[in-house]
Structure 1
């Protein structure tokens, strides 16, 4: 039926099936999320062509790493977190490529300028990395496992042999610490990007 929303009944169950190599589960997840992730990524990159490439990379990564999905209980949060991390990687690529920067700038001045000043994405990303680096060792590791590797609280708890409540508490503290660091050392846009990346908590 045309123009009918594609609805998933039990996303966690589909992720479990996908982790077992079920191609029909993958197709269902793809059909449900591809049109939701596209606009989300495009709002960050402001370049439809790059946004489409990011989204395709997300689903390629999802299939390649399907064996990690059996414990995912919040598929939507998992996928949007993947989208945030992948988009940040592309922003880094854009910042290091003048041609890509000009292409994106031509499609959205607000991505490149903040109050008429050029945004230095390299510096913003560097500050986020610096803010992460100064976290206490365990807190930093938990944050990286959650945000960079996409592990669930339960997976992190098992990996580090700690409780899920400890994982959650340390993530909350990590987010507050990084946000505070960015507010002190960077622009509002850098803080906004960080909030988008970590919106699920």
Structure 2
């Protein structure tokens, strides 16, 4: 583009001319997108950055009357948006790593405190047996078919000639009672039941 045409375009843009803005958008969108994608290495993030650049261009169009080189100015705007995005991504990743680290510390502490002795397992088995003996016969039967025989809810419903909803309700009832009985052993409950 000749310097004269560029100056004309910039002057029109600085006066809020939407057609001038559209011309700049068509001329520079792809260039800025590939520039941003090269540094950000992410298609969607690069699109977001270039959209932000063009949004800023329109919002601050009056500043373009002082611009001497359109391409340089646009690439500088895009560079600055990329730097902001990289800073944002770095903060997010640091936060995610921090959360994962804290989760690992909690899991580590829980594992250290977890009693996996035969005594604990025998105690859990006794609590499960005692709880299952206290629940209604049909609920116990449905629960045992589900957990011990690995039958699906629809198979249990068909075999016992009841609805699948009834099977689900009975399993939920049994699990609720077991959770209550085994609240001190919750981590094991996830694996044993």
For Structure 1 versus Structure 2, the TM-score category normalised by the shorter chain is 0.3 to 0.5
Structure with more helix by fraction: 2
Higher relative contact order (CA 8 A, sep 6+): 1
Under a length normalisation based on structure 1, what TM-score does the superposition of the two structures give? 0.45
Larger Cα-atom Rg: 2
